[in-house]
Structure 1
Amino acid sequence: MNISPSLQALDAVAIQLMVTANNVANVNTEEFRAARVDLEDGYQGQGVRVADIRRRSDQGPHIPDNPERLAAAGYATAAEGWVQGSNTDLAVELTRLMREEATYTANLRVMRTAHEMAGNIIELTA
């Protein structure tokens, strides 16, 4: 049994998990742009690998840089005093985390099964 595709998938999913965790950790960071991982087929169509990590270009919401100062000055819609918020969508990120967890777990099971099969073959031949 060839476990190379599962090893490649574990590496790719580990990178996806790191990118998703970074997105979630920076959900409240001003001007943060969430990233996503693009995957592609592995060597000769076997497995999967990371093709690219890209920052999303859409803008986040406008948030006040200092809400107390804006309220005291009477600014409600003025352009000054506002900053670009993070464009991280927590619903999307948490859905990705669930998918990535399931993918990681499935590939670990494939590797465990391959290990058990190899152990059984060794026991049969001994």
Structure 2
Amino acid sequence: MGLTYYGYPKCGTCRKAKAWLETKGLNFQEVNIAEAPPTAEELRNIIAVSGLELKKFFNVSGTKYRELNLKDKLPTMTDEEKISLLSSDGMLIKRPLVFGEGKVTVGFKEEEFDNIWTN
């Protein structure tokens, strides 16, 4: 099945994660998260597999997040509204987002990638 890597080419953290995946020889499909964000259905699946809270998928340091004042709006939104919002704009999603083989990582921490993608 391989992995799907959602990243943004101008993001330094994404470039580090992509280089890590390539160095380890892992097969992955690269998707520009700004041009083709995951659909709401894909996000539901990714979130379920991850076991993480939905709020962990938001790019809280992003410009869009601040522009939309999501810090104040998210607490009153339903999970479906949040997923719909994330799927509408890839720049709202914390990146890189890597998933496949029943595993998910959000963001890039080398130790976490070592534990999840090489074991």
Higher relative contact order structure (alpha carbons within 8 Å, sequence separation ≥ 6)? 2
Structure exhibiting the larger radius of gyration computed from Cα positions? 1
Structure 2 length-normalised TM: 0.26
Structure 1 length-normalised TM: 0.25
